[in-house]
């Protein structure tokens, strides 16, 4: 495993996810379900083309025959598809800031799942960053008035944290695993769509050509960060992955605040600063420890 490649994969994946509000906002006014269905269909088609190019269809068969891996990927497929639907809904109703809160929460959940479930060690010098991040998130929950229970934030954090954990402990390739996940979820979605008021083609009847082409690219836009994430999840400590993940909610936060002009309070801005201080601390600590170990006698 190449340390640099794994970290770079995570950074690119979370940066792309962080700027996704800009992409989905193009389709404001469209039904969340229709956008979710389009995202799923085009992701599946994109992945099939990749699998065909790499000649890995036999690998999908092996996944199906492995009962444990099959059930794990079915569960992870449910988690990631639920996350997609909730996130698209959040953008469509103008709750990007709450979505960013969900991914801030997810980061902390990753760190503690790595500690409690995977028995990853937390160094004493890492605790200040973790405590500061925890304090910031508590302040968000206590001091920020969302005028409603933040179910979007909680749902997004739990579904993606569980998805990351499952993909970390499941020994399957990034692309093969994602293809299996989307194929499983696509079946009930198409069955539901058959009894829905629209069809997969209905949305294209009123979209201008350029928007239709952008929507077709949703498969590629979706698959790239997921493949990179799956690779980094298998090769990085869950705690490290959790802190790199702060990039995603931070960019979402900036999109909601600066681009979509959602209301931001001084309390929310303060917690944003606290979380970035925690991220900087954790990053510097990791770099220092790595270099220190390099010069230690074996």
pLDDT (tens digit, 9 = 90+) per residue, 210-246? 999 999 999 999 889 988 888 888 888 877 787 788 7
Q: Indicate the pTM of the whole model.
A: 0.77
Instruction: Give the per-residue pLDDT at 86.
Output: 93
What is the predicted pLDDT for the residue at 238? Answer: 73
Question: What integer pLDDT is reported at residue 148 of this predicted model?
Answer: 63
Give the pLDDT of residue 285. Answer: 83
Low-confidence ranges of the chain (pLDDT < 70): 1-3, 140-149, 268, 296-298
Q: Which residue in the block uniquely carries the two structure tokens 């769509």?
A: 193
Q: How many domains does the chain have?
A: 1
Q: How far is residue 198 from each of residues 81, 201, 204, 218, measured CA to CA in Å?
A: 20, 8, 11, 19
Domain range for residue 114? 3-294
pLDDT at 2 (0 to 100) = 47
């Amino acid at each position: 495993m190449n340390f640099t490649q794994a970290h770079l994969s995570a950074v690119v994946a979370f940066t792309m996810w962080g700027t996704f509000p800009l992409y989905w906002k193009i389709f404001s006014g469209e039904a969340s379900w229709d956008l979710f269905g389009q995202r799923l269909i085009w992701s599946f088609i994109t992945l099939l083309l990749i699998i065909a190019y790499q000649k890995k269809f036999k690998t999908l068969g092996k996944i199906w025959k492995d009962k444990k891996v099959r059930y794990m990927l079915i569960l992870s497929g449910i988690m990631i598809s639920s996350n997609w639907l909730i996130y698209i809904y959040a953008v469509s109703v103008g709750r990007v800031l709450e979505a960013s809160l969900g991914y801030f929460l997810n980061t902390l959940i990753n760190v503690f799942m790595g500690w409690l479930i995977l028995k990853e060690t937390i160094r004493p010098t890492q605790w200040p960053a973790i405590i500061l991040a925890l304090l910031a998130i508590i302040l968000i929950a206590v001091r920020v008035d969302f005028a409603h229970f933040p179910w979007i934030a909680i749902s997004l954090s739990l579904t993606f944290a569980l998805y990351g954990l499952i993909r970390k402990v499941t020994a399957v390739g990034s692309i093969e695993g994602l293809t299996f996940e989307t194929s499983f979820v696509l079946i009930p979605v198409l069955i539901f769509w058959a009894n829905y008021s629209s069809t997969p083609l209905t949305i294209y009847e009123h979209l201008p050509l350029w928007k239709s082409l952008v929507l077709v690219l949703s498969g590629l836009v979706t698959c790239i960060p997921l493949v990179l994430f799956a690779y980094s999840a298998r090769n990085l400590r869950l705690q490290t992955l959790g802190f790199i993940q702060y990039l995603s909610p931070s960019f979402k936060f900036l999109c909601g605040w600066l681009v979509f002009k959602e209301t931001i309070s001084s309390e929310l801005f303060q917690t944003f600063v606290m979380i970035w201080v925690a991220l900087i601390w954790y990053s510097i600590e990791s770099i220092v420890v790595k270099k220190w170990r390099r010069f230690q006698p074996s």
